Structure 1
Amino acid sequence: MRFLRFNTLSHCIFLATGLGATGSVWAQDTADNPLTLPVIQVEATRTGTTYLQTPASIFRVDAPAQQQSAQVNLTEVVKGIPSLQINNRENYAQDLQLSMRGFGARSTFGVRGIRLYVDGIPATMPDGQGQTSNIDLSSLDHVEVLTGPFSSLYGNSSGGTILTTTKEGQGKDSIELGYSGGSHDKGRSGIILQGGAKAPNEPSYVISSSYFDTDGYRDHSAARKVLNNAKLTWNLDDGSKINWITNYVKINADDPQGLTRDQWKANPKQVNDANNLYDVRKEIEQTQTGLTWTKPLNDQNELYMMGYLGNRQVTQYQSIP
């Protein structure tokens, strides 16, 4: 979210960015040329609402705030949001552990008690278990975090809600290539194709693909991840909008498991099982596609319809004799 502060002295306006909430704000730099700022809206309340008119506790992070990140883990985007805690142990076989106002704190791995949505499509399984690995940070437009009792809008046992939205294609067709690297042979390469609609009722598109791999800090902690994400958007003449989203993620990750204090003091890089007898590891492959349709009726109401289909396969090898 953005914090706006205005001081009008000698026809000067000062803007500061940070954490806070705002809605439609206007200032006047001269007597004849008023400056109007765009209204910041949130969708976490089910219908578009300005911050000043939202009674819920909502935090929004726009894409420009995370462009300098490595674009691998959600922690890079939502860090610093009050009441939200994400434990990133750099163990890609265990996923991120996320908790919000205490909900999900007792989960040993993954996300429980918090609803996750990607472009309106649930990323939380029917049993309440969720994961953030299919969120594509390269093509991300913004993230909204809904905390407190208003998260009940998204169903029972929802201690909080995180909604991520992929950006829409704009302007001419373009291609963007990127690569980042780091220690322990960590590297990430990505490509983004995007373009706006050429004519009325034609779609805009964003297609993103990335490959990430690392040897890991510890022994037997290597990981490889392939992530593909595509979004087509139709803005129809009748005011309605159609989004078609397709997502694919595949992860192969070794798991060195946790260490006792004595093991850590002896060698923090070692595997829990010194002989690596069980070769503990995890393999994930998920494919998901969905369609959303919205049509505003007036300033306060709209029609919304969503359908999705997905398949998720997980194979995990554990240290069980």
Structure 2
Amino acid sequence: MEKKLLALLCLISVESLFSQENQFKILNANTAEAVENVSVSTASVVIAVSNESGVFRINTEDLPGRFKLSALGYEPLEINLEAGNEVQEIYIYPSSEDLSEVIVRSTMIPKNLREVPAAVNLITQTDFNRTDATNVLETFNNVPGIFVNQGALNTNKINIRGIGARSQYSTNRIQAYFDGIPLTTAEGELTLDDFDQESLDRIEVIKGPTSSIYGAGLGGSINLYSKGLGREEAKAGFTSQFGSFNTQKQVFQASNTTRNSSLYATFTNLSSDGYRDNGNYDRKSALVNGTLKTSENGSLSYLANFTRLKAFIPSSINEDDFLNNPETAAFTWGQSQGYESYDRGMLGGSYTHLLFDNFTNTTSIFLSFRDAYEPRPFDILKEERVSAGVRTKFNLDTRILELPSEISFGAEYYNEWYETGTFENLYEDFPGEGSVLGERESNNEQDRNYANFFAQINLEFTEKWNLEAGFNVNSTNYSLTDLYTQDEVNQTGDYGFDAVFSPRIGTSYEVGEGKNIYASISHGFSTPTVAETLTPEGQINTSLEPETGINYEAGFKGNWLQNKLYTEISVFSIQIDNLLVAQRVAEDQYVGVNAGKTNHNGIEFLTNYRFLVNPGISIKPYINGAINFFEFDEFINNDQDFSGNELPGVPKYTMNLGVDVQSDSGFEFYGNFRNVGEIPLDDANSGYTDQYSLVNLKAGYTFNVFQDLNFNIYGGINNALDEHYAASVLTNAVGFGGASPRYYYPGNPRNYFGGIQLNYIF
């Protein structure tokens, strides 16, 4: 009898040993909070669900093994789990739709998006997935308050709340950074077309004047973030895409992530014949970025990028060609076979160090260059640019008047050397050969530098009410050296602006669980470019002043229906003084004048909803838009009074409706309807574009060829209704020699794309 009892006891002990439960705890990667209702499955069978503490259990007999973790509002995670004696922590990342959980990094002091007293929008992986990936700027049109004029793959200009709309051919008055490295030149010009969404984790956009953080940014700031530490794995990928107009894109990617380091490398080759004549495009770019934890208290991040571009320019056309022959190029651009080409690169590194328990420093250094050649009908432009700088920022967690507080302060110095020269274009003397280099017509050298000193303090009065205040002091000056001695004009001179003080104050209050209201006042400015400071006689106009503006804003951000519904609404008013106006005095010659004031009043809204049809299928409809009331307050130019007129180049409203469908089976679908209102063509409001609507559709299917190799096939239609519309306008165009003004850049007609993607995990 004793032997039987002993045997039974041993059997129970062995069974208990083999059925021992291993505990795992799931945490939000952004907030470190426990995540409940996470399904843990293998071979499509749910074997566990996390409880309110984020904990789930798996029997030892089922380990080791590969499991899939999925939850509403979070990115699915496939992970290898092993047995262990202690609770093992697993981090999962909120999906792009769970906006209230995202920590905003582009503010001086990182904070939960819902609690930031400013209009901040995120462009995430889901936004990237909705498009054909030929131009990252397409994703910006889904952000309320932003409008992108897209003349061609290489002819784009962004305006935020109407600021930057008067730029002729490129984006200005917006500050932009890639992992803390400046992308905006010292003159304020910005080109984002070179970057591919495959290299990005997300983009953060702060709308309205952000000079208290980034210096000369009257319109706002755009911060691009590369992919960083994620799942510990080595991975290689390849994407091949084909589309209408012989558009082709190949992407090669490789990455390796460990607990203490990450390395990502991407090479992209994008080419297209273009919809319009003289519209060929070819761009090759490579990007390498990574992070390295150098010690328990320090980490290093680095970034290197190189782009080689050659893109022909069809330019804008007049109304008759726009209506009847939209595929044609402007006559002189077609005859000269005008194009732009350049090599561009940047290199930078940032080191973050925990100096004390509550005191950190991040210091970045950066270097960039650009070597460009651009044959145009009126001349041939050669440019060389080299920029370098350093930015350092300190963050301190402390208490002020017994209140929990955070303080951030630092400085940035930026220097840019720039040489430009123009030459005769002899294309008319050599018919059919395109542009031919002639005699030199100008040669200038610029040396521009600026320094920013900034500080911000956040005070937490209560758990629900917080206040933040900050300021920036900017100093900008440059020297211009005229190296061309064959004429009688000498443009050599030094020029500087008075120091600009830009304050900001904002507050946020939680009126209910997951619901915040906010209000803020901020100051911004933008300095004139060298071209704007030159008079028709070639002299420097020292009377020009920087544009300045004050932004008044109030809004609401909140969750509803158990965090399934997220909404935002903001109301703003921006008053701009010393408006810089580019007066056209010749075919491609502009001079700048401070000509008046503008009022930028508007309403922006955003709504995202997500629900599960069943545990394996989620549907996420959304709607966002902006209603604009932008007009000249006081504006007299060349004895003409435009006061009260609508601001040209900005639609009266924009609206996006869409739905994203995703399933555990691997099927996904993205549908978007965009409606854009009328756009005034000039200061006199003598003409408008027609309002237009676009429907874009995309579907894909992802499946595993085997455990470590997945395959994605996708396809889509852009402009499915084949709408005829102006994708961009050249404001205040002037016809010379009796020609009609060339206002219009036609948008692409209905076009198709499709591709395949392979990813292998080592």
The aligned runs of 1:38-49 (5 Å cut-off) are 39-49=101-111
Structure 1: segments with no counterpart, 5+ residues: 1-21
After TM superposition, give the deviation of residue 193 of structure 1 in Å. 0.3
After TM superposition, give the deviation of residue 89 of structure 1 in Å. 2.0
Cα distance in 2 for partners of 1:305, 1:293 equals 5
After TM superposition, give the deviation of residue 219 of structure 1 in Å. 1.0
Structure in which a larger fraction of residues adopt strand: 2
* Other-structure match for 1:33: 52
How big is each residue's C-alpha offset from its partner over 1:243-300, in whole Å with a ceiling of 9 and x where there is no partner? Answer: 1100011110111121111233442212211793322111021011100112356897
Q: Is the contact made by 2:123 and 2:203 (CA closer than 8 Å) also made in structure 1?
A: yes
The aligned runs of 1:2-151 (5 Å cut-off) are 33-34=52-53, 39-92=101-154, 94=155, 96-151=156-211
Q: Is the contact made by 2:171 and 2:191 (CA closer than 8 Å) also made in structure 1?
A: yes
Amino acid at match of 2:141: K
Cα distance in 2 for partners of 1:40, 1:262 equals 48
* Other-structure match for 1:220: 278
Amino acid at match of 2:245: H
Q: Is the contact made by 2:173 and 2:216 (CA closer than 8 Å) also made in structure 1?
A: no
After TM superposition, give the deviation of residue 139 of structure 1 in Å. 1.8
After TM superposition, give the deviation of residue 69 of structure 1 in Å. 2.9
Q: Is the contact made by 1:116 and 1:161 (CA closer than 8 Å) also made in structure 2?
A: yes
Cα distance in 1 for partners of 2:211, 2:104 equals 14
Percent identity among equivalent residues? 20
User: 1:161 aligned to 2:221?
Assistant: yes
After TM superposition, give the deviation of residue 131 of structure 1 in Å. 0.5
After TM superposition, give the deviation of residue 57 of structure 1 in Å. 1.5
Structure 2: segments with no counterpart, 5+ residues: 1-29, 38-48, 56-72, 74-93, 95-100, 379-424, 426-762
After TM superposition, give the deviation of residue 204 of structure 1 in Å. 1.3
- What is the Cα-based RMSD across aligned positions, in Å? 2.8
How many residues are aligned here?
295
Cα distance in 2 for partners of 1:152, 1:314 equals 33
Q: Which has the higher mean CA deviation after the structures are superposed, 247-256 or 291-300?
A: 291-300
Amino acid at match of 2:188: G
Q: Which has the higher mean CA deviation after the structures are superposed, 125-134 or 76-85?
A: 76-85
Q: Is the contact made by 2:35 and 2:52 (CA closer than 8 Å) also made in structure 1?
A: no
The aligned runs of 1:210-249 (5 Å cut-off) are 210-249=268-307
Q: Is the contact made by 2:333 and 2:376 (CA closer than 8 Å) also made in structure 1?
A: no
How big is each residue's C-alpha offset from its partner over 1:67-95, in whole Å with a ceiling of 9 and x where there is no partner? Answer: 35332312333222121111112242x2x
After TM superposition, give the deviation of residue 40 of structure 1 in Å. 1.8
Q: 1:298 to 1:224 in 2, by over 3 A?
A: same
Q: Is the contact made by 2:210 and 2:221 (CA closer than 8 Å) also made in structure 1?
A: no
Amino acid at match of 1:115: Q
TM-score normalised by the chain length of structure 2:
0.36
* Other-structure match for 1:188: 249
After TM superposition, give the deviation of residue 25 of structure 1 in Å. 8.4
Amino acid at match of 1:146: I
Q: Is the contact made by 1:166 and 1:231 (CA closer than 8 Å) also made in structure 2?
A: yes
* Other-structure match for 1:308: 366
Q: Is the contact made by 1:177 and 1:190 (CA closer than 8 Å) also made in structure 2?
A: yes
Q: Is the contact made by 1:253 and 1:282 (CA closer than 8 Å) also made in structure 2?
A: yes
Cα distance in 2 for partners of 1:102, 1:173 equals 44
Query: Does the residue aligned with 2:133 lie in a helix, a strand or coil?
Result: coil
Q: Is the contact made by 2:135 and 2:196 (CA closer than 8 Å) also made in structure 1?
A: no
* Other-structure match for 1:4: none
Q: Which has the higher mean CA deviation after the structures are superposed, 72-81 or 270-279?
A: 270-279
Query: Does the residue aligned with 1:138 lie in a helix, a strand or coil?
Result: helix
Cα distance in 2 for partners of 1:83, 1:216 equals 28
Q: Is the contact made by 1:58 and 1:147 (CA closer than 8 Å) also made in structure 2?
A: yes
Query: Does the residue aligned with 1:65 lie in a helix, a strand or coil?
Result: helix
Query: Does the residue aligned with 2:321 lie in a helix, a strand or coil?
Result: helix
Match of 1:318 among 343, 360, 376: 376
Query: Does the residue aligned with 1:236 lie in a helix, a strand or coil?
Result: strand
How big is each residue's C-alpha offset from its partner over 1:225-251, in whole Å with a ceiling of 9 and x where there is no partner? Answer: 101110021123323321110001111
Amino acid at match of 1:237: S
TM-score normalised by the chain length of structure 1:
0.83
Q: Which has the higher mean CA deviation after the structures are superposed, 138-147 or 55-64?
A: 55-64
Q: Is the contact made by 2:175 and 2:216 (CA closer than 8 Å) also made in structure 1?
A: no
How big is each residue's C-alpha offset from its partner over 1:21-54, in whole Å with a ceiling of 9 and x where there is no partner? Answer: x989888779x62569864211111232112331
Q: 1:194 to 1:68 in 2, by over 3 A?
A: farther
How big is each residue's C-alpha offset from its partner over 1:80-112, in whole Å with a ceiling of 9 and x where there is no partner? Answer: 2121111112242x2x21001121111112210
Cα distance in 2 for partners of 1:28, 1:214 equals 47
Query: Does the residue aligned with 1:47 lie in a helix, a strand or coil?
Result: coil
Cα distance in 1 for partners of 2:358, 2:146 equals 29
Query: Does the residue aligned with 1:184 lie in a helix, a strand or coil?
Result: helix
After TM superposition, give the deviation of residue 55 of structure 1 in Å. 1.3
Cα distance in 2 for partners of 1:293, 1:273 equals 52
Query: Does the residue aligned with 2:331 lie in a helix, a strand or coil?
Result: coil
Amino acid at match of 1:247: N
* Other-structure match for 1:14: none
Cα distance in 2 for partners of 1:83, 1:275 equals 33
Q: Is the contact made by 2:313 and 2:333 (CA closer than 8 Å) also made in structure 1?
A: no
Cα distance in 1 for partners of 2:314, 2:199 equals 31
User: 1:262 aligned to 2:331?
Assistant: no
Q: Which has the higher mean CA deviation after the structures are superposed, 42-51 or 58-67?
A: 58-67
